[in-house]
Amino acid sequence: MSSANSITLDWEGSPVPCVEGDTVLDALLRAGIPVPHSSCLVQARSGPVPAAAQQGLKESLRAQNYLLACLCRPEQDLSLAPPGQGVRITALLTERDWLSDTVLRVRLAPDESLGHRPGQYLTLFRPDGLGRSYSIAGPELELHVRRIPGGAMSNWLAEAQPGQAVTLQGPAGDCFYTPGDPTQPLLLAGAGTGLAPLYGILHDALGQGHQGPIWLYHGALNERGLYLTDELQALAAQHRNFEYRPALLDRDGPLPEVISRDHPKLTGWRGFVCGDPTIVNLLRKRLFLGGMASRAISADAFLPATLK
């Protein structure tokens, strides 16, 4: 254990000595550890994180014990890691069912907890090493997989049998609910399987007793692109503060415009936007122009597999 003037840091399992008055960055650099980010962002796995080391960080990053190595003067031993790597575990596929013509729900039982927040994502690896990233749609490991014609992973998952073992790495991403102000109005918007993280965030917010209004917009080209409609309508009937708004391009027009019509002013709101990068950028801009603060908008843009 440490005395007042000798603190030991742990970097991914290796000890790093830290002299009193050093910042974490000083200690890492002296130990020859290349700090992974120009922003000097690292993640604490255990140990108390001094508040000063989280100054200016988003609430979602603070909640995951991120800290700025250049600002952190540790007072006690700290165990640290590069940002966003998560853990690597194995899991069994327990259940799969079709939520629509093209969206497959996959449920997984991990052999140890991933420690995720609903709305974050993980990377799933087949036994042959092929990996794809998916958002986590709830407190349990539930994924919404869009079947892509010729898609190696989605077609494999569509055929995989319960009991199939896979490897998971994660969690990653900062698109998740943080209690903060339980009366703040929330706007959740996404298209396609962008619903997966939003569904997770919605359940998390309702489960944590969020009292402010929650609006969920799910955009699709037409009726066939929607899924979980019965579940969402049931939730809306059950929770007075929750509104479910499916938005169909061929009936209602573009999703950002549907939102603008319902909510011309979004000052003071918090937003979550998920889906492919084009729609995510349009939605972010729309929410921002509506008056939402830039840092109150969490975005998760799904990149095509080749870019990940």
Partner 1 sequence: MHIKTMPTLYEVDIFYRKVLLDDRINGFFEGVDMDRQIAKQKSFLTMVFGGPVSYSGQDMRRAHAHLVARGLNDTHFDAVVENLGASLAELGVAAEVISEVAALAETTRADVLGK
Per CB under 8 A, the list member of 284, 303, 305, 308 interacting with partner 1 is 284
Residues 46-65 that bind partner 1 (CB under 8 A): none
Size of residue set near partner 1 by CB under 8 A: 9
Q: Cβ contacts of residue 242 below 8 Å, gap of 6+?
A: 202, 206, 213, 214, 216, 235, 236
Per CB under 8 A, the list member of 163, 294, 304, 306 interacting with partner 1 is 294
Give the separation between CA 261 and CA 278, rounded to whole angstroms. Answer: 20
Query: Hey, what are 9's tokens?
Result: 């840091």
Residues 167-196 that bind partner 1 (CB under 8 A): none
Verify binding: residue 165, partner 1, rule CB under 8 A. Answer: no
Give the separation between CA 159 and CA 234, rounded to whole angstroms. Answer: 30
Interface with partner 1 by CB under 8 A: which range of 76-84, 217-225, 241-249, 292-300? Answer: 292-300
Of 85 and 278, nearer to partner 1 (C-beta) is 278
Interface with partner 1 by CB under 8 A: which range of 29-37, 99-107, 255-263, 286-294? Answer: 286-294
Per CB under 8 A, the list member of 30, 45, 251, 285 interacting with partner 1 is 285
Give the separation between CA 120 and CA 108, rounded to whole angstroms. Answer: 15
Interface with partner 1 by CB under 8 A: which range of 99-107, 179-187, 195-203, 284-292? Answer: 284-292
CA separation (Å) from 16 to 50, 72, 172, 261?
18, 14, 25, 55
Cα 254–Cα 261–Cα 144 angle in degrees, nearest 5 = 45
Q: How far is the CB of 289 from partner 1 (least distance, A)?
A: 6
Of 52 and 289, nearer to partner 1 (C-beta) is 289
Give the separation between CA 3 and CA 20, rounded to whole angstroms. Answer: 10
Interface with partner 1 by CB under 8 A: which range of 2-10, 112-120, 130-138, 281-289? Answer: 281-289
Using N-to-C axis directions, what is the helix angle for 277-289 and 255-262, rounded to 10°?
20
Q: How far is the CB of 185 from partner 1 (least distance, A)?
A: 18
How large is the C-alpha radius of gyration of the chain? 21
Interface with partner 1 by CB under 8 A: which range of 59-67, 160-168, 183-191, 278-286? Answer: 278-286
Where residue 47 falls (left for φ over 0; alpha for ψ -120 to 50; beta otherwise) is left
The residue ranges that bind partner 1 (CB under 8 A) are 281, 284-285, 288-289, 291, 293-295
